[in-house]
Structure 1
Amino acid sequence: MPFSAPSVRGIAPGSALVTFGLFAFVVIAWSLNWVVMKLAVQEVRPLWAVAIRTALAALVLFPALLATKQLRRPPRADLPVLLTISLFHMTAFAAFMTAGLALVPAGRAIVLGYTTPLWVAPAAFLFLGERISTRQTAGLVVGLAGLLLLFGPASLDWGNGQALLGEGLLLVAALCWSVSIVYTRVHRWVATPLQLMPWQCLLAAVVLTTLAYLIEGAPPNPGRVSTPALLALSYNGVIGTALGFWAMTVVGRRVPAATASLGVLATPVLGIGLSTVILREAFDPILVLAAAIILAGIALGTIGQGRVAPRLR
């Protein structure tokens, strides 16, 4: 019997296949993002790595949107959200995440990075006055239980200062991303998120490059960086960031927000597997269990929420 793709929100089967294909691309691309960035930061200092990645994404997005006649100057009303996403997500999250990734195995890093949704509901309560539902509270409790398992003595050596610093940086990164998510929930968009993204990447690239010069010194000499590291940075900028965001934008317009958010939770699961296979990281059953509990908490808090859920990468 031939395969027939189900429709998605009234989309024809052929379009549904394209949607599922793009969704699969997003999950794979974002899973590999963490693995290849781990390879890159072994040779390129963290701030320079993320600055180069972000600049490459801008170099791809500007001509792509120009060619599709979607490039426009950011409307004045969208400047607050442009600044918030650029500074808290593309700059702060990316910088802290990359610095933490240099100190922590990729498998643990991706799980800690994906704790971001756990902090969104408390942040929305504090800053927006949103009520935390019973389901969100249960999801937060379950997620924190998984996080405690991840930081338990059976999983983390508390005498390893480098590991503690790396995991602390990753949690700070997740908190920074939650600030960006909370603000975007209340912003009244004029331009589309895709139309603003090249400008966000440009601003973030300028800020990150300045910070890299001030903190890490001169940029890396391309002649002293191996081909795998250069390919890793190129992948992160072009595929993982620019094309990944475009694909997720298309998917987000075609499937319900809860479906998109829950589907993207496959990213850390695949990321753990890829880090084990590609980076030869030791299989850690406690990490897998903690990740499952954290993701269960995120899923519990996401299901049934009518507002747009955060898009993770």
Structure 2
Amino acid sequence: MDATAAHPVSRRLACFLFALVILSWGLNWTATKIIVHQVTPLWTTAIRCTIASAALLVILLARGQLIIPRRGDVPVVLAIAMLHMVAFSTLVALGLKFVPVGRSIVLGYTTPIWVTPGAWLFLRERPSPRQIASIALGLVGLALMFNPWALDWSDTHTLFGNGVILLAAFFWAANILYVRAHQWVSTPFQLVFWQTLLASGVLSVLALCMDGAPGIVWSPQLAGAFLFAGLCGTALAYWAMAVVNRSLPAVTTSLGLLATPVVGIASSTIGLGETISASLVISMATILGGIALATPLTKDGVHRFRSRLREILYSRRFER
């Protein structure tokens, strides 16, 4: 068992780590935006996964938690590596070439909207009236993002970028659904190294075949962005979230994670000079409001919040 997860830390330390996670995942979108202007999306994700794999290997060795995946966990290693780390992360990187960070992160956070109908179709989980209302609210927010005043429908690059980020959200939702159905043998934190390692191998082969050798012109900014994305935005954030998830109430972490898009938008505004439109703010508030509405804050609701949170956290690596 994951020793970190088994022994909760003090509330003060947990809150500090949780703040670092929110900052890391929010800033990670801006770091990726910087990278994709100089490196192809496939190489962007491949290099980031490689850095994360090296960092996770050090963490697991230091804690004596490195394992060989058991037979029962091989399917989930494959699913998370391919659906989330390869498909989701590469599509997001591709979309960020054409779409501002603020808009991208809000589109990425439509994932929970697609999880509920997916669970109904594939897992036979009938949605509650509250969940149906949350989907409707999220779709309203999504429609606001695509109104003619908020999106130039004549710009094919913009349409393509928005489309691939929405497609990425579908892949993330599929990953969450698989994680929900999987019967875990080892702990998720023990398996994340093998997921990033597999993803880095697959992505490197794809990048070589499709883009050729990377030919990267390194600069301090680019190296810093890669190190931040691989170390802080992936490996360390995931370890810290494993601690936080056992040390703070599920409602606190669930609602707290909704601050991630706010951090992402703020960082892109300050660091990249992106503008924040009223339409984007209203859309973000509507979509995140729908996510917050999805589960009632009753004792039973808190239990469902905890289960849903684990599903999302165990499948998430780069959002971020």
Q: Quickly name the TM-score band, shorter chain normalised.
A: over 0.9
CA distance in 1, matches of 2:263, 2:223: 23
What secondary structure is seen at the aligned counterpart in 2 of 1:157? coil
Q: Does 1:100 align with 2:100?
A: no
Specify the alignment match of 1:4 in structure 2. none
**Matching residue within 270, 273, 278 for 2:266:** 273
Pick from 16, 27, 43: which aligns with 1:48?
43
Checking the alignment, whether the CA contact within 8 Å between 1:44 and 1:225 is kept in structure 2 is no
* Preserved CA contact (<8 Å) 1:25 1:244: yes
**Residue 185 of structure 1: CA displacement?**
1.1
Q: Structure 2 residue aligned with 1:244, among 221, 237, 240?
A: 237
CA contact (8 A) 1:258 1:302 kept: no
The CA deviation at 1:291 is 0.4
| Partner Cα distance (1:190, 1:255) in 2 | 24
Q: Name the aligned partner's letter for residue 104 of structure 1.
A: V
CA deviation after TM superposition for structure 1 residue 255, in Å: 2.6
1:121-145: CA deviation from partner (whole Å, max 9, x where unpaired)? 1111111111111111000000000
Per-residue deviation, 1:258: 3.7
Count of matched residue positions in the alignment of Structure 1 and Structure 2: 300
CA shift at 1:177, angstroms?
A: 0.6
CA contact (8 A) 1:86 1:204 kept: yes
**What is the rounded CA distance, in whole Å, between the counterparts of 1:288 and 1:124 in structure 2?**
29
* Matches for 1:227-266 after TM superposition, within 5 Å: 227-266=220-259
Gap regions ≥5 residues in structure 1: 1-10
Q: Indicate if the aligned counterparts of 2:25 and 2:260 stay in contact, CA closer than 8 A.
A: yes
Q: How does 1:141-180 map to 2 (within 5 A)?
A: 141-180=136-175
Q: 1:172 deviation in Å?
A: 0.5
Aligned letter for 1:301?
A
Q: Given that residues 46 and 203 in structure 2 are in contact (C-alpha distance below 8 angstroms), is that contact kept between their aligned partners in structure 1?
A: yes
State the TM-score, normalized to the length of structure 1: 0.93
Q: CA deviation at 1:283?
A: 2.2
Number of the residue aligned with 1:131: 126
Specify the alignment match of 1:71 in structure 2. 66
**Matches of 1:258 and 1:165, distance apart in 2:** 36
- Asked whether the 8 Å contact 2:10–2:247 carries over to 1, the reply is no
Distance 1:106 1:302 in 2: 28
Deviation by residue 1:56-91 (Cα, 9 ceiling, x = unmatched): 000111121011100000011111111111110111
Given the two structures, how large is their TM-score scaled by the length of structure 2? Answer: 0.91
User: Percent identity, aligned pairs only?
Assistant: 48
Q: CA deviation at 1:285?
A: 1.2
1:302 Cα offset (Å)? 3.5
**Alpha-carbon distance in 2 for matches of 1:32, 1:215:** 29
1:210 Cα deviation (Å)?
1.1
**Structure 2 segments unaligned to the other structure (5+ residues):** 1-6
Query: How far apart are 1:186 and its partner, in Å?
Result: 1.9
**Whole-angstrom distance in 2 between the partners of 1:302 and 1:246:** 26
| Residue deviations 1:227-258 (CA, integer Å, cap 9, x gap) | 20111011100110000111111111223434
Measured in 2, the distance between the counterparts of 1:239 and 1:303 equals 32
Q: Distance in 2 between matches of 1:216 and 1:302?
A: 44
Deviation at 1:263, TM superposition (A): 1.1
